[in-house]
Structure 1
């Protein structure tokens, strides 16, 4: 049995769910465009060049969760899925997931984006396992804080090992381990699996993948 691990943003999705959640909140008037957009854009730019301050980003990104009720957030998320996420779920991405499902592989999404935003997206792909950054909840409401290690860069390895340990497994228990990603931020984990695959890669990952003779694919329609 194989383990197929997928990054989410700009890999399975033709876009970034984290960034689009911020844009969605701007669109519906929950946050001010002038105050939010420039900061959101800077964090996204920092991420792309590998200089993201994950703690500062999470403090910024999780604030709207703590400022609104869970019931309201859930209602907004349904709209977010329809307007922002579904258009980014390509036929090629769905086909790749179904190929691994038909093979009987264990399917897992691992993403730095928080699990409130990404949980319904994993469900939409029919992927039962998700590792995302976990926003703290108290009495069903978000606090704006993070539980455990953010699943970002080296943190993806930490969280993956924790998830495997809960299952009584290690990477060596699988016949083949796959990891699909677009970002050089994921190189630490890509180096740990049997079959790393660069998906619409950023320039740094593309150069590394070519040097290592890793497959490079596109999941854009």
Structure 2
């Protein structure tokens, strides 16, 4: 058996590199978190609510619905998306931490729309929201977000989906704004690189932290909503965490901590989401979330 690779002095470890990239992703997401309604003066300016999107605000993975819409428009091939999903699942299951391997997997996964324009993705995103996302919004979660708005608090989405799509969802729901995965682009054209990491797990908490500093929020007065145990870093940094349609690990943790729990699924749907989404959509949408944010080929 070959010995595990040793960490080289002076070279950041995989954990340190992930922390650095997560911080960069969070700061980039926070700086991009603006829509027109964000310019309004909130009646309660130090309190806000942060909502995860997939299975929290919307049934299923937003990036999966987006991918279906783009695929129908010949934006990329079935082979492209399956290849990225395989690489994402492999590294999640095997847990490889070699920075070079992780970087290679990330760069492979982020490979769908380099060369396409930001305007192109935004225009298609508007169409796809109407076709595949609008009817999948959970009414119960939408009502919770409206309660915060009615109390004069601002409401942001926090999602691994590309920021362009996150902004569309926030705008259509009348929310303050959104924080999502930020893709590098030059002169409005995607370069094929992310700014930091995907906005996932620790990166979400970094985004909330950066936004709280910018907007002078009191996190002890803020709320956060998610379905996933992976969002624990975000949930634990606010004074009012709530589990929405939770996976089994988050449900157990929320019960132990005395957090609010809301489940808008039927029993049958809950079982299907708990198993299927964690095993499949987590890997597939994770790969696509990154991939849609950055490498591809021009049509024609």
User: What TM-score do the two structures reach when normalised by structure 2?
Assistant: 0.63
Quick one: distance in 2 between partners of 1:149 and 1:170? 26
Residue among 65, 73, 78 paired with 1:33: 78
Q: Which residue of 2 aligns with 1:20?
A: 65
- Check 1:109–1:194 CA distance in 2 against 1; reply closer, same or farther (3 A cut): same
1:98/1:110 CA distance change after superposition, 3 Å: same
Partner residue, 1:115? 163
Residues 1:35 and 1:63: Cα distance change in structure 2 (over 3 Å):
closer
Deviation at 1:16, TM superposition (A): 0.9
Is residue 108–residue 128 contact of structure 1 (8 Å, CA) maintained in 2? yes
Q: CA deviation at 1:75?
A: 2.9
Match of 1:95 in 2: 143
How far the C-alpha of 1:45 sits from its partner, in A, is 9.7
Q: TM-score, normalised by structure 1?
A: 0.84
Larger Cα-atom Rg: 2
Give the alignment of 1:1-221 within 5 angstroms.
1=44, 2-37=47-82, 39-40=84-85, 43=88, 59=107, 62-148=110-196, 150-172=198-220, 176-220=221-265
Judging changes above 3 Å, is the alpha-carbon distance between structure 1 residues 93 and 41 closer, same or farther for their aligned structure 2 residues? farther
| RMSD of aligned residue pairs (Cα, Å) | 2.8
Residue 131 to residue 66, structure 1, CA distance change in 2 (3 Å): same
CA distance in 2, matches of 1:169, 1:195: 14
52 and 217 in structure 1: CA distance in 2 versus 1, 3 angstrom threshold: farther
The answer to whether the 8 A contact 1:112-1:132 is kept is yes
3-state SS in 1 of match to 2:237: coil
Instruction: Tell me by how many angstroms 1:155 deviates.
Output: 1.3
Mark the runs of 5 or more structure 1 residues left unpaired by the alignment: none
Report the CA distance between 1:169 and its aligned residue. Answer: 4.2
For 1:72 and 1:171, the matched residues in 2 are separated by 36
More displaced 10-residue stretch of structure 1: 131-140 or 86-95 = 86-95
Report the number of matched residues.
216
- Give yes or no for contact 1:12–1:219 (8 Å, CA) kept in 2: no
Change (3 A) 1:132 1:57: farther
Check conservation: 2:114, 2:189, Cα contact below 8 A: yes
After superposition, give the CA deviation of every residue in 1:87-115 in whole Å (9 maximum; x if it has no partner).
21232232222111111112111112220
Contact 1:63 1:144 (8 Å CA) reproduced = yes
Mapped to 2, the partners of 1:108 and 1:188 lie a distance apart of 16
Give the Cα separation in 2 of the matches to 1:19 and 1:119: 17
Q: Distance in 1 between matches of 2:135 and 2:107?
A: 28
- CA offsets, 1:4-51, max 9 Å, x none? 11111110111211222222222222222244236437747987x8x7
